[in-house]
């Protein structure tokens, strides 16, 4: 193989530095390690193809991962609604109230909560990652927390 | 401490715990890096040829092996040949650069038993057509342990009694495409729409093997089914 070009080295460095962290972020959002890895690899593949045109690669790849997670969560909600209509609900031996409540949250609320409480991002940073105004992030965080509180209240 | 504080504390603990559990499989770094050079060379080639950015010229290799098994009709796409193995079934395919069109005409098994065999157990009254594709060619878009991204278009129609088929297929409720049935991407298609207009665009990662299951309710066991798959490598 020929000597990698300069952009390839930068890409390699970013990949090595951020891959694990992004997989963990996606796994927390999606609660599925395998899909998380796929999402992150796709994001890096996209970044690689657009490398010359991307101004801030770390932000780009994180936003790309967040967007992909959103798509997965949306699809999952549709699937769940369909399965609920067609199959009897199986009750797990040990109920996971918080997990169930999180799974019921709209995708953006769940992602906002993860970025806030796992990544520790500010509202401004979350707004950048989600591609929405800062005020919307405030609303998402508030609504998400309230929804969880109501679901978990005895 | 307020209820909100408690929730936030619970979330922090939950997310941290989940993050620790998530252990990325063996670092695919070397694999993804091995593709970097290839991708750049291909991009340069494409630029020189003025081919634009969105077209991947990948001659897809197609072969079909159709076998009617207890759980449905199985099709294997391997090389640029077409084979029919089950009586009463016919398969045809076309192949152009970057695109594979597969048309399968199969017959649902006359004695489908939802509880026998090793196939997926379906509730009574449901039938599954499973199409399994195997590509002998390394995907162009391989990166790390992931595989190529394809767009799959699924249409269904009948070669026999179109009206009867349409009314029966109108009850089809889902299309799954994925590496493994258990991990397949499921797309819920609307009930009651004509089969001919039932087109789903799906993003799938085509591993060496992809399974497409069409699950339909109230299909008669002697119904001829034509499933047209159009796979475009991007």
CATH architecture of B63-233: Sandwich (2.60)
Task: Compute the distance between CA of residue A75 and CA of residue A73 in angstroms, rounded to an integer.
Answer: 5
Main-chain phi, psi angles of B162, to 5 degrees: -60, -45
Least confident of A70-74, B18-22, B32-36, B69-73: B69-73
Q: Which residues of A touch B55 (CB under 8 A)?
A: none
pLDDT of A138 = 94
Task: Compute the distance between CA of residue A46 and CA of residue A26 in angstroms, rounded to an integer.
Answer: 16
Main-chain phi, psi angles of B40, to 5 degrees: -65, -40
pLDDT of A102 = 87
| 3-state DSSP helix/strand/coil % of chain B, to nearest 5 | 25, 40, 40
Q: Which residue of B has its CA nearest to A102?
A: B11
* A20 Cα to chain B: minimum distance (Å): 6
Task: Tell if the CB–CB gap between A27 and B188 is shorter than 8 Å.
Answer: no
Beta strands in chain B (DSSP E): 63-69, 72-76, 81-84, 90-96, 99-107, 126-134, 148-157, 174-178, 185-188, 200-206, 209-217, 224-233
* DSSP output for A75-112: HHHHHHHHHHHHSPPPPPSS--HHHHHHHHS-HHHHHH
Local structure of residue A153 (DSSP, 8 states):
-
Nearest to B146 among A20, A25, A38 (CB): A38
pLDDT of B93 = 37
pLDDT of A144 = 92
Q: Kindly report, residue by residue over B147-159, the tens digit of the pLDDT.
A: 333 333 334 433 3
Q: Kindly report, residue by residue over B165-191, the tens digit of the pLDDT.
A: 333 333 333 333 333 333 333 333 333
Q: Beta partners for B204?
A: B150
Instruction: Of B201, B58, B226, give the one whose Cα is nearest residue B140.
Output: B58
Record the pTM. 0.47
Instruction: Of A112, A100, A121, A107, give the one whose Cα is nearest residue A140.
Output: A112
Domains of chain A: residue spans and CATH: 1-90 (no CATH), 94-154 (1.10.10.10)
| pLDDT at position A19 over 80 | yes
Least confident of A40-44, A134-138, B47-51, B107-111: B107-111
Task: Compute the distance between CA of residue B3 and CA of residue B19 in angstroms, rounded to an integer.
Answer: 24
Local structure of residue B138 (DSSP, 8 states):
P
Binning pLDDT at 50, 70 and 90, where does residue A88 land?
low
Q: Which residue has the higher pLDDT, A47 or B208?
A: A47
Q: What ipTM was reported for this prediction?
A: 0.81
Q: Which of residues 85-104 of A touch B (CB under 8 A)?
A: 86, 98-99, 102
| pLDDT at position B134 over 70 | no
User: What average pLDDT score do residues A76-91 get?
Assistant: 68
Binning pLDDT at 50, 70 and 90, where does residue A101 land?
confident
| pLDDT at position A38 over 90 | no
Main-chain phi, psi angles of B211, to 5 degrees: -115, 130
Q: Which of residues 41-80 of B touch A (CB under 8 A)?
A: 43
């Amino acid at each position: 193989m020929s000597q990698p070009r300069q952009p390839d080295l930068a890409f390699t460095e970013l990949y090595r530095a951020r891959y694990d962290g992004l997989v963990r972020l996606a796994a927390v959002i999606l609660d599925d390690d395998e899909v998380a890895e796929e999402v992150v690899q796709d994001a890096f593949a996209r970044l690689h193809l657009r490398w010359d045109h991307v101004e801030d690669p770390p932000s780009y790849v994180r936003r790309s991962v967040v967007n992909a997670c959103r798509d997965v969560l949306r699809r999952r909600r549709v699937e769940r609604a369909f399965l609920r209509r067609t199959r009897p609900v199986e009750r797990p031996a040990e109920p996971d109230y918080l997990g169930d409540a999180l799974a019921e949250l709209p995708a953006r609320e769940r992602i906002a909560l993860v970025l806030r409480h796992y990544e520790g991002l500010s509202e401004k940073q979350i707004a950048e990652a989600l591609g929405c105004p800062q005020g919307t992030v405030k609303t998402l965080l508030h609504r998400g927390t309230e929804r969880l509180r109501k679901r978990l209240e005895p | 401490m307020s209820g909100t504080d408690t929730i936030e504390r619970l979330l922090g603990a939950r997310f941290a715990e989940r993050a620790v559990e998530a252990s990325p499989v063996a670092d695919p770094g070397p694999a993804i890096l091995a593709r970097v050079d290839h991708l750049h060379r291909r991009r340069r080639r494409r630029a020189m040829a003025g081919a634009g950015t969105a077209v991947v010229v990948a001659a897809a290799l197609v072969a079909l092996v159709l076998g009617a098994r207890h759980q449905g009709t199985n099709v294997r796409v391997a090389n640029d040949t077409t084979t029919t193995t089950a009586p009463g079934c016919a398969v045809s395919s076309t192949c152009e650069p970057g695109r594979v069109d597969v048309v399968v005409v199969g017959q649902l098994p006359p004695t489908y038993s939802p509880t026998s065999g090793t196939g997926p157990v379906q509730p009574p009254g449901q039938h599954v057509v499973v199409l399994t594709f195997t590509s002998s060619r390394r995907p162009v878009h391989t990166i790390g342990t992931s595989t190529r991204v394809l767009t799959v278009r699924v249409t269904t129609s009948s070669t026999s009694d179109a009206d009867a088929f349409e009314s029966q297929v109108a009850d089809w409720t889902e299309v799954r495409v994925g590496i493994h049935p258990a991990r397949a991407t499921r797309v819920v298609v609307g009930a009651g729409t004509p089969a001919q207009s039932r087109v789903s665009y799906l993003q799938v990662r085509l591993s060496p093997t992809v399974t497409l299951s069409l699950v339909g309710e109230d299909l008669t066991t002697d119904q001829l089914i034509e499933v047209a798959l159009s796979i475009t490598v991007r």
